[in-house]
Amino acid sequence: MHCVTTLVVDDQPVLRYALRQLLLDYAGVRAVTEAGTEREALRQCEKNHPDMVITELSIAGKPAGAAICQYAREHLDRAAVLVFAGDSSPAAVATALNAGADSFVHKSASGTRLMAAVRSTLAGGRVWVPAGETAPLLTGAVPYASVMTKREEDILALMLCRWSNDEIAGELHLARQTVKNYASRILHKLGFSSRRELVHALGFRAGPVRCDGPYRGPE
């Protein structure tokens, strides 16, 4: 792991600096480059071909992190992608998953937990740590096989909110059977046998779930 290079993408310079120090000191990373915008992130990916990309979903007020994840997936050979985000709502998690993120860590996580997630992701694991999560890291829990359509991503977000097929159909103005078909395809693409298994694997526990609709970034 001593040869690992990492790109950190966030619009907050102090946070980028803190992540750089943590990665160099505790994750065995050799070099860290930074980017504060989507354009700079894509340029750094093209120029340096990092082994890992750590990115926010919301950058400079825009939901640019998904595009960065997708670029890394399509153009960086075997690069690991970790979303380190301030929003861990079901919609944000669905967006990160559909963008091809290997792991997802909310910014409320401790430095120790974040570095453990980095090391696990670099080793080929998958880690999902939503806001306020106190259980052990969920590693290797989220298989990923196929890119979802935008409609499937929106329905996945509502599934993570524990909405029923009838509720989703009413919200999205679809037939119930259409929603049922979408849900089956989503579970198949993600490698889960049931909604219960999906929700548990992505770290959503019993209790209230904040659901603001499909992820669009901050207003």
pLDDT truncated to tens, each residue of the chain (219 aa)? 457 999 999 999 999 999 999 999 887 888 999 999 999 999 999 999 999 999 999 998 888 999 999 999 889 988 999 999 999 888 888 899 888 899 999 999 999 999 999 998 998 888 888 877 654 445 454 555 567 888 999 999 899 888 999 999 999 999 999 999 999 999 988 888 899 888 877 766 554 455 655 544 544
Token pair, residue 118, equals: 């980095």
Phi-psi region of 61 (alpha: psi -120 to 50; beta: other; left: phi over 0): left
The CATH 3.40.50.2300 portion of the chain extends over: 5-129
**Cβ atoms of 84 and 55 closer than 8 Å:** yes
CATH class of the region 150-201: mainly alpha
Q: Give CATH superfamily name and number for 5-129.
A: Response regulator (3.40.50.2300)
The CATH 1.10.10.10 portion of the chain extends over: 150-201
* Strand ranges for 110-217 from DSSP E: 128-129
Alpha helices in 32-164 (DSSP H): 38-48, 65-75, 90-98, 111-122, 150-160
Specify the 3-state DSSP secondary structure of 200. Answer: helix
